[in-house]
Structure 1
Amino acid sequence: MNFSAIPLALQAVLLLIAANVFMTFAWYGHLKSLANSPWYTAALVSWGIALMEYLLQVPANRIGFHEAGLEVGQLKIIQEVITLAVFVPFSVFFLNEPLKLDYVWAGLCMVGAVYFVFRG
């Protein structure tokens, strides 16, 4: 695949999505998969997973800021929207948590945040 054909802002977003999947598993995956392990085992495993997140997130932010011309605030709001978009399915399907209406309201608030950082 020719990554140079993908617009820079989209490259940044795709990397942020991948990074957030790793980070969600690092932060919350151990609650189910390592539930019977000592906390320090969960922490070490989580750090290993989080390393992958950093290896994706750092270039995503550099591409977004330096090459795509996004502002830091825009990158942060994109990250937060991605966090919610990844976390909700993760919590429902992986952790078997109920889907709550509060997630919808939070998502609508994020739409407002996106509007304000990208307007004008």
Structure 2
Amino acid sequence: MLFASNVFMTFAWYGHLKYKTSPLLIAIIVSWGIAFFEYCLAVPANRIGSATYTTAELKTIQEVITLTVFAGFSVLYLKEPLTINHLVGFAFICAGAYFIFKGPL
């Protein structure tokens, strides 16, 4: 559910960038419409997940999923390349996720 919600949110936040000539108000309204479906998935996913994970762990899962979805979206939909700098930055975020789940040091 979190993966699907991220697909919706990525399109809501960034999908309009492919249509920069359309009016901003239209982009906002369409984005809100798409975001509604994201919330319909994210809210129950977080509620269900909170039975197993802490909120910090849920947020960490969300961020790693967001990066994964965004990387694919950026390359496949927006036709933007991923650079080595992006990959290194993503790797550092994943390293941070490791420490969230590792437990006490």
* Corresponding position: 1:78 with 2:70: no
* Corresponding position: 1:48 with 2:26: no
Q: Deviations for 1:60-113, whole angstroms, at most 9, x for unmatched residues?
A: 1000003xx200000001111011100011111111111211221122112211
Question: In the aligned structure 2, how far is the partner of 1:96 from the partner of 1:26?
Answer: 17
Report the TM-score, using the length of structure 1 for normalisation: 0.82
Deviation at 1:28, TM superposition (A): 0.4
User: Counterpart in 2 of 1:21?
Assistant: 7
1:1-120 aligned at under 5 Å gives the runs: 15-32=1-18, 34-66=19-51, 69-120=52-103
Code of the aligned partner of 2:16 = H
Question: In the aligned structure 1, how far is the partner of 2:68 from the partner of 2:48?
Answer: 21
Q: Please list every run of 5 or more consecutive structure 2 residues that lacks an aligned counterpart in the other structure.
A: none
Q: Please list every run of 5 or more consecutive structure 1 residues that lacks an aligned counterpart in the other structure.
A: 1-14
Size of the alignment, in residue pairs? 103
Q: Secondary structure at the match of 2:93?
A: helix
CA RMSD of aligned residues (A): 1.0
Identity within the alignment, %: 54
Report the TM-score, using the length of structure 2 for normalisation: 0.93
